[in-house]
């Protein structure tokens, strides 16, 4: 659940069980000039952790829903909500927007100007702000109020990790691997092999040069 403010919040339903890592093991090894397989298991653990860390920080999955649908429900708490902002970015396409008056009602599919020959449209897609605007013949109107009042199926994100973000992820993996090696060297007789590193659990900051890149992809709500 992600709180948006403005009288509504979204309930996100993911139909992918495993979220995609932002880089692959081979991509990182090519970047770092690594050969052999002796460190592959540990690197794979860090890749997965860093990928989830970056997605959490950015507030978007980045690559998970560019080629598959995401279904998102919106609880409308106020009477004057005419715009809802989707949680993924950048928005690629919207398959459907549905609305219901109450929890006991069935959803009604709203019509946009490109989906019906009648010329009637009940919402528009604002790609610049990754949002859906409720409309009528004279302008905007409010969405119906209630729990799961609005249901949106859409696609957003990138088909592959952007190159600048990929480089930041590489640097972050290298950063945590280096920190983890320091920890293993400092704990006599102990190993963190294939374990979640202390730095990943406790370090909530990023090096400045990495944070600058991540901030370009961060969704502010």
Q: What is the pLDDT of residues 64-98, one digit of tens each?
A: 999 999 999 999 999 899 999 999 999 999 999 99
DSSP code for 144:
P
Half-sphere exposure of 38 toward its Cβ, with a 13 Å CA cutoff?
3
- At 153 the three-state DSSP class reads strand
Q: What is the pLDDT of residues 119-141, one digit of tens each?
A: 678 999 999 999 999 998 888 99
Contact assessment for residue 122 and residue 136, using Cβ atoms and an 8 Å cutoff? yes
DSSP code for 112:
B
Contact assessment for residue 150 and residue 98, using Cβ atoms and an 8 Å cutoff? yes
> What is residue 11's predicted lDDT score, i.e. its pLDDT?
59
> What is residue 121's predicted lDDT score, i.e. its pLDDT?
84
- At 156 the three-state DSSP class reads strand
Residues of the chain with pLDDT > 90, as a percent, come to 66
pTM for the full predicted model: 0.79
> What is residue 205's predicted lDDT score, i.e. its pLDDT?
73
Of 73, 127, 69, the C-alpha closest to 99 is 73
Q: With 80 as the cut, is the pLDDT of residue 62 above it?
A: yes
Q: Return the higher-pLDDT residue of 38 and 4.
A: 38
* Integer Cα distance of 60 and 218 in angstroms: 7
> What is residue 114's predicted lDDT score, i.e. its pLDDT?
67
- At 170 the three-state DSSP class reads helix
Of 96, 126, 15, 25, the C-alpha closest to 61 is 15
Q: Which of 5-14, 165-174, 177-186 has the highest mean pLDDT?
A: 165-174
Q: With 60 as the cut, is the pLDDT of residue 42 above it?
A: yes
Contact assessment for residue 12 and residue 72, using Cβ atoms and an 8 Å cutoff? yes
């Amino acid at each position: 659940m992600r709180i948006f403010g403005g009288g509504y919040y979204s309930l996100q339903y993911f139909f992918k069980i495993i979220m995609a890592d932002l880089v692959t093991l081979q991509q990182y090894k090519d970047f770092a000039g690594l050969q052999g397989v002796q460190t592959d298991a540990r690197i794979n653990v860090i890749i997965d952790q860093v990928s989830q860390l970056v997605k959490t920080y950015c507030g978007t999955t980045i690559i998970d829903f560019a080629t598959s649908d995401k279904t998102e429900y919106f609880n409308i708490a106020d009477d004057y909500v005419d715009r809802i902002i989707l949680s993924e970015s950048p928005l690629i396409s919207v398959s459907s927007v549905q609305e219901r008056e109450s929890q006991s009602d069935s959803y009604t599919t709203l019509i946009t100007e490109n989906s019906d020959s009648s010329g009637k449209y009940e919402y528009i897609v604002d790609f610049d702000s990754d949002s859906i605007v409720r409309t009528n013949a004279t302008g905007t109107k409010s969405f119906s109020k209630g729990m799961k009042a609005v249901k949106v199926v859409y696609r957003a994100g990138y088909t592959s990790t952007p190159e600048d973000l990929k480089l930041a992820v590489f640097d972050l993996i290298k950063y945590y691997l280096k920190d983890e090696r320091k920890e293993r060297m400092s704990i006599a007789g102990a190993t963190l092999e294939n374990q979640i590193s202390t730095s990943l659990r406790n370090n909530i900051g990023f090096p400045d040069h990495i944070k600058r890149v991540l901030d370009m992809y961060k969704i502010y709500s």
